[in-house]
Amino acid sequence: EVLLVESGGGLVQPGGSLRLSCAASGFTFSNYKMNWVRQAPGKGLEWVSSISTSSSFIYYADSMKGRFTISRDNAKKSLYLQVNSLRAEDTAVYYCAREPTSYYGSGNYYFDYWGQGTLVTVSS
């Protein structure tokens, strides 16, 4: 069974930092492009970032560039998101999502499995 379990969320003061983790199981993690998607309370889904199988290709939404850093450890089957200089508007549930990936490493730009999400609250 494919499982994605996020952790690392919590209450953080404005200006603080957080590192979110996503532990994968039930599939060969190194064969899949991975993504972070967030959802502010009562709002819609917002794509954050993607990382290729070997970390060679990394992309961010324009509004996330500079403060967000995605990374992965294939040996640990884990995906990470480092978020710095947190702002109130970063308050959201952060989901990790698996993207079906071709043999050559090309992503298919949709998500077949999602984690349950981890809530980040930025408040003083």
Residues that bind another protein (CB under 8 A): 35, 37, 44-47, 50, 57, 59-62, 95, 108-112, 114-117
Separation in Å, CA 119 to CA 9, 20, 72, 100, 102:
5, 10, 20, 25, 31
CB of 11 to another protein, least distance (A): 20
- C-beta separation of 96 from 36 below 8 A: yes
CB of 61 to another protein, least distance (A): 6
d(CA 23, CA 6): 6
Torsion angle in degrees (nearest 10) through CA of 36, 40, 43, 46? -20
Among residues 73 and 112, whose Cβ is nearest to another protein?
112
CB of 43 to another protein, least distance (A): 8
Among residues 59 and 71, whose Cβ is nearest to another protein?
59
Among residues 117 and 122, whose Cβ is nearest to another protein?
117
CB of 123 to another protein, least distance (A): 21
